[in-house]
């Protein structure tokens, strides 16, 4: 009897110890998540900055070593330093520690969405999950799906999306999968809302980028809402904005509007160059 009593006492103590360890472990994990920061990445890749700096340094070394070609290499070094300095400036402007321009441009598109938040939302080309996660935070009832092809020159990944969603506390209502925007793995009219931010022009599977827009609208239910931001002011890709709007409306879209992102006052003039944000616009409406 004594042995049985002792065994029960030991079992109870062990259970309490286990519960305490698990509780401490979960508390530590929660604390770690709270101290970690969401990483949505930067539209200027660090790789491009590093390459420019390395080339400039190589030319500078050659310039110092070959005096008879000094003027040629001095000019070359200077030419590499100019874009390097500009891309560093752009990186800073996009960063949350700088101008936070990346979030402001994303929010400009996101603010065009007037939705009750009840239903499914698809983020096409989610990158590191910025639009998808912010949507899940704003709409607590929504089920959010993000797709992206990932890889290549961009520093984005599915793992980072999932980590960001966990840090933001929306992991249970968000899912991410690899897929092409040119051929979405969903049936017709599957989602209540479709959104996309600066992705369509990057899709390599389709030459005519309007077809990517059509595919994004295919999976949107009748009466559903859409907000797409891309290089809609780039005429060689999309034509005139009013013609693009007319074309999309002829697909049977109820309502569609165009907003010029590049005209917004919060964007510094130096960032409005055509190869930076000078060609960006938003189309939004109801199917």
- Give mean pLDDT in consecutive 10-residue pieces for the chain, a chain of 287 residues: 34 44 44 68 80 69 59 64 87 94 95 96 97 97 96 85 97 97 97 97 94 98 98 96 97 96 95 95 98
Tell me what pLDDT residue 25 has: 42
Q: Copy the structure tokens of residue 167.
A: 């840090």
**Phi, psi of 227, rounded to the nearest 5 degrees:** -140, 115
Which residue, among 154, 153, 152, 135, has the nearest Cα to 144 in the 3D structure? 135
- C-alpha to C-alpha distance for 7 and 27, rounded to whole angstroms: 30
Tell me what pLDDT residue 5 has: 33
Does the predicted model carry a pTM greater than 0.85? no
Length of the chain: 287
């Amino acid at each position: 009897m004594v042995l049985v009593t002792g065994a029960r006492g030991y079992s109870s103590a062990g259970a309490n110890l286990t519960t305490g360890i698990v509780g401490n472990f979960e508390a530590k994990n929660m604390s770690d998540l709270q101290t970690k920061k969401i990483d949505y990445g930067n539209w200027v890749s660090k790789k491009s900055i590093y390459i420019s700096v390395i080339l400039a340094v190589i030319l500078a070394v050659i310039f110092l070593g070959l005096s008879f070609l000094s003027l040629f290499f001095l000019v070359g070094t200077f030419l590499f330093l100019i874009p390097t300095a500009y891309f560093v400036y752009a990186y800073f402007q996009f960063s949350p520690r700088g101008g936070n321009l990346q979030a402001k441009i994303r929010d400009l598109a996101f603010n065009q969405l007037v939705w009750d938040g009840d239903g499914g939302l698809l983020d096409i080309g989610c990158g590191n999950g910025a639009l998808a996660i912010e949507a899940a935070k704003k709409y607590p009832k929504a089920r959010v799906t993000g797709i992206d092809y990932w890889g290549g020159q961009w520093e984005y990944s599915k793992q980072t999306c999932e980590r960001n969603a966990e840090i933001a506390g929306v992991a249970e209502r968000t899912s991410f999968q690899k897929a092409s925007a040119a051929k979405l793995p969903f049936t017709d009219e599957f989602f209540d809302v479709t959104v996309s931010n600066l992705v369509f022009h990057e899709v390599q599977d389709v030459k005519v980028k309007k077809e990517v827009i059509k595919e994004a609208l295919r999976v949107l239910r009748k009466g559903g809402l859409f907000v797409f931001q891309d290089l809609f002011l780039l005429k060689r890709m999309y034509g005139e904005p009013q013609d693009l709007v007319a074309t999309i409306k002829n697909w049977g879209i109820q309502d569609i509007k165009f907003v010029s992102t590049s005209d917004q006052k919060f964007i510094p003039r130096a960032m409005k160059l055509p190869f930076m944000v000078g060609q960006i616009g938003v189309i939004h409406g109801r199917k």
